[in-house]
Amino acid sequence: MKLNSNIPEGPLADKWTNYRGKMNLVAPNNKRRIDIIVVGTGLAGASAAATLAELGYNVSAFTFHDSPRRAHSIAAQGGINAAKNYQNDGDSVYRLFYDTIKGGDYRSREANVHRLAEASRSIIDQCVAQGVPFAREYGGLLANRSFGGVQVSRTFYARGQTGQQLLLGAYQALSRQIATGNVKMYNRHEMLDLVMVDGKARGIIARNLLTGKLERHAAHCVVLATGGYGNVFYLSTNAMGSNVTAGWRAVKRGALMANPCYTQIHPTCIPVSGEYQSKLTLMSESLRNDGRVWVPKNMDDVMAIREGRKTGNDIPEEDRDYYLERRYPAFGNLVPRDVASRAAKTACDEGRGVNQTGLAVFLDFAAAIERYGKAEAHTQGLHNPDKGTITRLGEEVVKAKYGNLFQMYEKITGENPYKLPMKIYPAVHYTMGGLWVDYNLETNVPGLFCLGEANFSDHGANRLGASALMQGLADGYFVIPYTIGQFLSKEIRTPKISSDLPEFEAAENATKERVEKLINIKGNQSVESFHRRLGKIMWEYCGMSRNAEGLKKGRQMIRELRAEFWRDVFVPGTADEFNPELEKACRVADFLELGEVMMVDALDRNESCGGHFREEYRSEEGEAARNDADYTYVAAWEWNDEQPILHKEELVFENVELKTRSYK
């Protein structure tokens, strides 16, 4: 299969403008007759559904949640990037483009990323107009802050709840279209199959989660905006319901899964506390601005801390190893996410982890509290303040900056982070991989589009902070409404697609069979237990660092686990009722296949880049070593039970020079 990225001709900066100017359009009278299905109502899905409906298309939108407002976009804390240059600090579209390409370790498409940077500016305007309460300066203008990996302040934010506010903006825009009748909203509906008619995506089979009834929905095209698949690791910062099923069903119908091994592991999460743990909680990256990361130098101290005989405070300064500051003096505690995560893993692999499980490092604010305390005392005109006063004043400053995060930490761990150093550990956070799409965000299946985290397109091998929200909204508000016309302009003579077509019947029957099969196994192990086991395999062999031997072993273990699942899983209840266990079973079944492809992809990529670190491929100092000569391609996988088939899209860099990232 030849993968055509359909990147328009011309200079990078003009591609999108010129392309838009010459694109095929669908006339208003024809839009009214065209049906579009949008699956997923997070940032990308809700913004796409709303915008397409505003343009006049008939949209049907689907979410498995009880309301579109619950999508996991809502949990994004930090902010959204935009090349507005409001701070006059030299930001530009090109600089955002360049930072994103570099941050992605040169594994993304130039043209897509440049378009993303261009759209970023309109996103802020659009969101402000919708009433998103972004943070403001005293003069009433928009405030910015800076994020990891960049040298400008371009991140717009709404306290620590930017994702929530942006999602509510998109949800409200969607609600407005639901009220006009342009969008028919299907809550508590989960897509379980893609229906293809004459080689084009023409509908879906969705399960009504309340009644269990399988429904056929037909349309001229299908848009997937179904988020990331980080939950294949079981423990992640994703929501419990986040899943790969919609995308994976498309893969089973011929779509390609691109770069599935690129997983972002976020360095500052609250560590696992026990076997019962169901999910991991992120502590915003901003904490690394003031927190110092360390582990004890001596094993005696490590053991004393683990056994509760000592706390972090008891370890004298000279016995602490501030390993990020030691290894990366230039960036110190502010190295990019992938680097910080791997360094934490190294420290814990050496046996120096500081909790009972041995999988935690300290993030210490004592120095910051003292520094801020002294400064504050000085401001208040206190000379020779005592230690208690300094600490009190310093804690107040830290509270003003990170109060909600400290509170969240205390709620979860029961420890007071003002008094004791925080314990943190990396956790799966975001998946850069996803369905392969071309410049139009269309997959290799004609009429099937994919947006947001669910596609692979913009972040390469590593995503920069505050860029996920940007991509979701760019795709939904400003890309798909144009590019979908390239496909639909050829469909204006296609009459309404009938859901009575034999293809729909066949897909419904296949889904029905599959669901009933799961129910009828009546084995002895819960769905949850399989998911946990899968997660452990993925984390062990395809997690923060990977090697060929482990990946082969992991792949074999997943195949065995999958066989065991289909032999011995127990799904209580029936298929024709509200049955959350059955929903979970359908999702885990798909994760069990995806996990294998991730291993295969990681094994294929004999280099270390971004979120993919192969132990065999590192520099003399132990840093990730890319192999641009052989691996500057997108690996798009076609499903095959025996051996997934690789299709390559070569990445062409005409505007940036490929360099080694260095943070020393």
Partner 1 sequence: MKLNLKVWRQRSNNDKGAFATYQVEANEHMSFLEMLDVLNEQLIAKKETPVAFEHDCREGICGACSMVINGRPHGPQQGTTTCQLHMRAFEDGDTIFIEPFRARAFPVVKDLVVDRSGFDRIIQSGGFVSVNTGQAQDGNAIPIEKDLAGEAFDAATCIGCGACVAACPNGAAMLFTSAKVTHLGLLPQGKVEHSKRVLSMVKAMDEEGFGMCSNVGACSVECPKEISLENIARMNRDYIGASLASDKTV
What residues between 206 and 225 interact with partner 1 by CB under 8 A? 210
Q: Do 470 and 155 meet the contact criterion of CB atoms below 8 Å apart?
A: no
Q: Is 19 in the site for partner 1 (CB under 8 A)?
A: no
Cβ 131 to partner 1 shortest distance, Å? 5
The binder of partner 1 chosen from 6, 18, 187, 311 (CB under 8 A): 187
Nearer to partner 1 by Cβ, of 108 and 286: the residue is 286
The binder of partner 1 chosen from 299, 303, 412, 548 (CB under 8 A): 412
Nearer to partner 1 by Cβ, of 282 and 393: the residue is 282
Task: List phi, psi (to 5°) of 303.
Answer: -65, -40
From residue 500 to residue 539, the character string flagging contacts with partner 1 as x (rule: CB under 8 A) and all else as - is --------------------------x-xx----------
Residue matched to tokens 């500051």: 325
Element (H, E) at 301: helix 299-306
Cβ 282 to partner 1 shortest distance, Å? 8
CA 389 centroid distance within chain: 43
Q: How far is CA 37 from CA 325, 454, 499, in A?
A: 50, 16, 13
* Beta-carbon count within 10 A of 620 CB: 6
Q: Is 47 in the site for partner 1 (CB under 8 A)?
A: yes
DSSP letter, residue 497:
P
Q: Do 237 and 230 meet the contact criterion of CB atoms below 8 Å apart?
A: yes
What residues between 145 and 164 interact with partner 1 by CB under 8 A? 158-159, 161, 164
Q: Is 282 in the site for partner 1 (CB under 8 A)?
A: yes
Rounded Cα gap, residues 50 and 62, in angstroms: 13
The encoded tokens of residue 639 equal: 């499903």
The binder of partner 1 chosen from 1, 27, 32, 136 (CB under 8 A): 136
Which residues on adjacent β-strands are paired with residue 197?
Answer: 200
Q: How far is CA 664 from CA 105, 268, 334, 554, 556, in A?
A: 16, 21, 11, 33, 38
Q: Is 612 in the site for partner 1 (CB under 8 A)?
A: no
The binder of partner 1 chosen from 26, 38, 50, 589 (CB under 8 A): 50
The encoded tokens of residue 535 equal: 């997660």
Q: Is 57 in the site for partner 1 (CB under 8 A)?
A: no
What residues between 545 and 604 interact with partner 1 by CB under 8 A? 570, 572-573, 578, 580-581
Binders of partner 1: how many residues, by CB under 8 A? 80
Nearer to partner 1 by Cβ, of 372 and 477: the residue is 477
Cβ 92 to partner 1 shortest distance, Å? 16
Rounded Cα gap, residues 223 and 458, in angstroms: 18
From residue 161 to residue 180, the character string flagging contacts with partner 1 as x (rule: CB under 8 A) and all else as - is x--xx--x--xxx-xx-xx-
DSSP letter, residue 400:
H
Q: Do 462 and 108 meet the contact criterion of CB atoms below 8 Å apart?
A: no
Cβ 134 to partner 1 shortest distance, Å? 7
What residues between 236 and 265 interact with partner 1 by CB under 8 A? 237, 239-241
The DSSP bridge pattern shows strands 525-526 and 569-570 to be: parallel
Q: How many CA atoms lie within 13 A of 663 on its CB side?
A: 24
Cβ 409 to partner 1 shortest distance, Å? 11
Select from 219-227, 453-461, 475-483, 639-647 the region that touches partner 1 (CB under 8 A): 475-483
From residue 389 to residue 408, the character string flagging contacts with partner 1 as x (rule: CB under 8 A) and all else as - is -------------------x
Cβ 289 to partner 1 shortest distance, Å? 21
Rounded Cα gap, residues 163 and 77, in angstroms: 6
What residues between 61 and 100 interact with partner 1 by CB under 8 A? 65-72, 74-75, 84, 86
Cβ 119 to partner 1 shortest distance, Å? 11
The binder of partner 1 chosen from 5, 85, 126, 245 (CB under 8 A): 126
What residues between 342 and 381 interact with partner 1 by CB under 8 A? none
The binder of partner 1 chosen from 24, 151, 277, 416 (CB under 8 A): 277
Identified catalytic residue from 109, 202, 207, 337: 337
Q: Do 546 and 612 meet the contact criterion of CB atoms below 8 Å apart?
A: yes
Amino acid letter, 470: M
Cβ 354 to partner 1 shortest distance, Å? 16
What residues between 625 and 644 interact with partner 1 by CB under 8 A? none
The encoded tokens of residue 99 equal: 């930072």
The binder of partner 1 chosen from 477, 617, 637, 639 (CB under 8 A): 477
Alpha-carbon torsion angle 162, 168, 169, 174, nearest 10: 150
Which residues on adjacent β-strands are paired with residue 224?
Answer: 39, 450
The binder of partner 1 chosen from 14, 25, 27, 137 (CB under 8 A): 137
The binder of partner 1 chosen from 252, 279, 536, 647 (CB under 8 A): 279
Whether residue 342 lies in the annotated active site: no
DSSP letter, residue 463:
P
Task: List phi, psi (to 5°) of 59.
Answer: -115, 135
The binder of partner 1 chosen from 87, 153, 208, 273 (CB under 8 A): 273
The binder of partner 1 chosen from 26, 34, 44, 127 (CB under 8 A): 127
Cβ 626 to partner 1 shortest distance, Å? 34
Rounded Cα gap, residues 403 and 425, in angstroms: 20
Cβ 397 to partner 1 shortest distance, Å? 19
Task: List phi, psi (to 5°) of 657.
Answer: -95, 135
* Beta-carbon count within 10 A of 388 CB: 9
Closest C-alpha to 206, from 49, 44, 62: 62
Task: Please state whether 333 falls in left (phi above 0), alpha (psi between -120 and 50) or beta.
Answer: alpha
Nearer to partner 1 by Cβ, of 412 and 645: the residue is 412
Catalytically annotated residues: 337
